[in-house]
A = this chain, B = another copy of it.
Amino acid sequence: MAYFSGLWAKNINALSWVKTNSTTASGQSGQIGFSSLWAYGITMAGLLLLLKWLEWRFVIIDHSIAIYIGLIALFFTFFGIWVAKQLLEVKTQTIVVEKEIYVPVTPEFVLNEIELKKLNLTSREWDVLQLITQGKSNTEIASDLYLSTSTIKTHVSNILSKLEVKSRAQVMEKAKRLKITP
């Protein structure tokens, strides 16, 4: 029984050494637990052999029951370690890292329909407005729509009135600002 106490004390020392070792070596990921366990086991076994071999003959008969208990202790220690490994499941921690991605937003044009409806333009006025924003002259617009310049002038005049501006240049500026044209 005296030897068993000694073995206990040695085990604690061996344990603390193994633990220190595993902490410092924690850089290499993965199998730390297993290799440390082996180191621990081998160290323990080595100590046991070392201690016992020195006084083997004196002990082998007198303290056979103590050795037996020691082996039982050793076995169940490993058994406990095995049990712990089964019980302690690997915790999976999911960390969601929000990563800002600057999407190359295509200079997509979304027509501001709210503002467009406020203007209360007729469909023909809308046609003319779009051609105006393309920098076209009255003559060109008339040509595009197969109309006379007189008609275009009328439409343009109405557009200016509805947009509350005084020139086609201001129409272009305001149409851009209100996002009713690309």
Contacts and interface: CB of A to CB of B under 8 A. Distances in A.
A100 B96 CA distance: 11
Interface string A36-69: 1100100000000000000000000000010001
A74 B73 CA distance: 9
Contacts of A19: 86-87
A136 B172 CA distance: 11
Given A99-B100, A101-B98, A103-B101, A88 B84 contact: yes
A158 interface: no
B92 A93 contact: yes
A99 B100 CA distance: 6
Contacts of A23: 89
B83 A40 contact: yes
Most chain B CB within a 10 A radius of its CB, from A22, A79, A100, A135: A135
A2 interface: no
Given A99-B99, A101-B102, A105-B102, A77 B83 contact: yes
Contacts of A146: none
A163 B165 CA distance: 26
A169 B77 CA distance: 90
Given A76-B79, A91-B93, 7 more contacts: A32-B87, A37-B87, A90-B93, A92-B95, A135-B171, A168-B169, A169-B172
